[in-house]
Amino acid sequence: MDSANIETLTRSIEALERKCRRQTAWILLILVVAASWGLRQTVFRTRAGDGEAGKILRVRGLSVVDEKGTERVFIGAPVREPLMLGKRFPRGGAMSGILLFDEDGTERSGYCTTDGYPNVLFTLDAIGRQHALFMAEPQGATALWIWNGANSFKLGVDEEEAGLKISAGGKTVFEAPAAAPAPKGATK
Partner 1 sequence: MSGTKRSPATALLLAGLGLLATARCGGWAVAEEACDVWEGHTGGVTDLVVLSGGEQAASCGLDGTVKLWDARSGRFVKDLVSGGGEIFAVSADAVGRRIAATGYDGRIWIVDLKKNSKRALSGFRGWSAGVALSPDSRRVAAWSMDGDIWIYDADSGGRVKTLKGQPKKWGMALAWSPDGKTLAAARSVISLWDVESGKAVKTLEGHQDFVRALAFSPEGKRLASASMDKSVKVWNLFEGKETLALKPEGFAFYADEEWVTAPIRLPATAAAFSADGKSLATAGADRIVRLWDAETGILKKEFKGHRRTVTAVAFLPDGRGLVSSSLDHTIRAWKMD
Return the biggest CA–CA distance within the chain: 145
- Asked whether position 92 contacts partner 1 by CB under 8 A, the answer is no
Question: Is residue 110 at the binding interface for partner 1, with CB under 8 A as the rule?
Answer: no
CA distance 159 to 142: 10
Handedness of CA 41, 42, 47, 49 (dihedral sign): positive
Per CB under 8 A, 68 contacts partner 1: yes
According to the binding rule CB under 8 A, does residue 183 interact with partner 1?
no
For partner 1, which stretch binds (CB under 8 A), given 41-49, 54-62, 63-71, 93-101? 63-71
Residue selected from 74, 99, 106, 107 as contacting partner 1 according to rule CB under 8 A:
106
Residues 122 and 133 sit within 8 Å (Cβ to Cβ)? yes
Q: Is 102 in a helix, a strand, or coil?
A: coil
Of 47-55, 83-91, 157-165, 180-188, the window that binds partner 1 (rule: CB under 8 A) is 83-91
Q: Which of 53, 85, 182, 186 binds partner 1 (CB under 8 A)?
A: 85
In which element (H, E) is residue 4 found?
A: helix 3-53
Q: Cα angle vertex 163, ends 118, 95, to 5°?
A: 20
The number of angstroms, rounded, from the C-alpha of 178 to the middle of its chain's C-alpha atoms is 43
Q: Which of 66, 104, 115, 158 binds partner 1 (CB under 8 A)?
A: 104
Q: Residues, the chain, total?
A: 188
Q: Which listed range, 32-40, 42-50, 121-129, 135-143, lies at the site for partner 1 (CB under 8 A)?
A: 121-129
Q: How far is the CB of 108 from partner 1 (least distance, A)?
A: 12
Residues lying near partner 1 in the complex (CB under 8 A) are found at 68-70, 85-90, 103-106, 127-129
